[in-house]
Amino acid sequence: MNITIKRRLKLVLSFLLLLPFALGYLLGLESLPVFIVTIITSLAVLSSSYLLGLGTDSLRFIVSQTLALAVLAVIQVLPEYAVEGVLSYEAAFNSEILHYVTANLTGANRLLIGFGWPFAFLVSYFAGGRKENNISLDKDQGVEVLFLGISTLYSFIIYLKGSLTILDGIILTSIFLLYLAIAIRLPPETYVEEETILSRPLVAFFLVVGCGTIFLAAEPFVNSVLQTGIMLGINNYLLIQWLAPVVSEAPETVTVVYWAAKSGMGKTAISNLVSSKINQWTLLFALIPFVYLFASGNSMIKLTPMQKEEILLTASQSLFGFVCLTDMRLSMFESFSIFSLFFVQLLLPETRLAISVLYLSLCAVRIATEKERGKVFVYFSSVFREHFLRSQQPQ
C-alpha cells in the first residue's frame, strides 16, 4: 500500500468536511435552518462519495469490477431511494402526488445517460491528452451492457401495458439479482498501479464510512434541497423531475470524475454509470409498487398518458445507449448525439414523443448498418461460459 501525500491531503479534507454533518446529526438536524442542512449534508454526500470511489478503486482488485460497481451503485442510489420511497408512500394518500412518482425516476435515468455518459467521455478525453476518440470497454463489462439491454426491454413492456404492478417489481428485482449472481462469479482485476491499491481493512473502513454517511444523510439531504426549491418558488414537477435527480446523482458525479480524470480509466467511469442505470431501472423501479402496496393495499398503479410518454422516452433513450455500447465502445460522435437529444427534450419537453421515435429509428439504423453491434453478445457468452457455467461443473 502506498498513499501519496496528495491523496492523504484529500483524505484529511474529506473527513474534515464530514464533521459538520456529524455534529449536526448529533445535535438534531431538524433544529437547524433548512439552508444549513442543505450545506452540511451536501458536503457529507460529496466527501463520502470520494471515500466510496477510493475504496471501490481498490475493491475491484479483491472482487470483480462488475460486482464492486454493482454494490457501489446500490449505495450511490440511496438518495434516489429516499425520494422515490417518500413519493410512493405519499401517493397512496394523495392522488395528485401519484403523478410525480415516475417523474423522479425517469428524470434521474435520463440524466444518467443524457448528461452522465457525455460528461464522463469529455473528462476522460481531456485526461487522456485528447488522443482517443473512443472509450473501449473490457470483455467482462459485456455483463453490465447486456443487463442494461435486458432491463430496458422490460421497461417497454411496462409502457405497453400502461401499469406498474407488484409482478413488475418482482421481475425487475429478479433481473438485478441475476445480474448480481453473474457479477459475483467474475474475477477481480489483476493489473494494479502500486499507488492505487489500499489494504483490505482500509478499503473496508472507507466503504463503511462512505456508505454509513450516505445512508444517514440521504433523506435530509434530498428533503432540504426540495424545501429550498419550494421556498424559491420552483415548479413542483420541475423540482421533482430534474432538481431532485441532479442533487441525488451527486455521489455518481464524484466517483465518475474520480475515474474519468485518471488516464485510461474512462471505461470504469462509464461502467459506474451503467451500473447505476441498471440499479435504477430495476430495483428503484421495483420500489414504487412495493411501497405503494404497503401504504395503500393496492397492487397496481395505473399510468397516466404523460407517465407513459415519460417512460417511453426514457426507455427509448436507454435502448439507444445500449445500442451505442453493443460494439463495446463509446465514441465521441455517440456521446455528442446522446447529449444533443437529451438537451433538446430537456429544453422542449413537448418533443417527448418525437424524440422517442427518433431514438428508436437511430437504433434500427445502427443495428442494420453496423456489423460490430453484436460484439456485446459474443463477449457476454464468453464470460458466462468461462466464469459461470464452468464453475457449476463438478471438479
| Digit-coded pLDDT (tens) for 280-297 | 999 999 999 999 988 888
CB atoms within 10 A of CB 8: 10
In a domain, 394, yes or no: no
Each residue's pLDDT expressed in tens, for the chain with a length of 395 residues: 455 676 778 788 889 989 999 999 998 988 899 889 988 988 888 888 788 877 877 787 788 878 888 887 887 777 778 778 878 888 888 877 777 888 888 998 999 999 999 999 999 999 887 888 899 999 989 999 999 999 999 999 999 999 999 999 999 999 999 999 888 888 887 655 544 567 788 888 888 888 888 888 877 876 787 787 778 777 777 777 887 777 777 778 878 888 888 877 899 899 989 999 999 999 999 999 999 988 888 888 999 899 999 999 999 999 999 999 999 999 999 999 999 999 999 999 899 999 999 999 999 999 888 878 889 999 999 888 887 666 555 54
In a domain, 390, yes or no: no
In a domain, 21, yes or no: yes
- Count of domains observed in the chain: 1
In a domain, 147, yes or no: yes
The mean pLDDT of the chain is 86
In a domain, 116, yes or no: yes
Could you list the residue range(s) of the whole structural domain that residue 129 is in?
A: 5-385
In a domain, 392, yes or no: no
User: CATH number for the domain including 159?
Assistant: 1.20.1420.30
In a domain, 391, yes or no: no
In a domain, 78, yes or no: yes
| Digit-coded pLDDT (tens) for 37-62 | 988 988 888 888 788 877 877 787 78
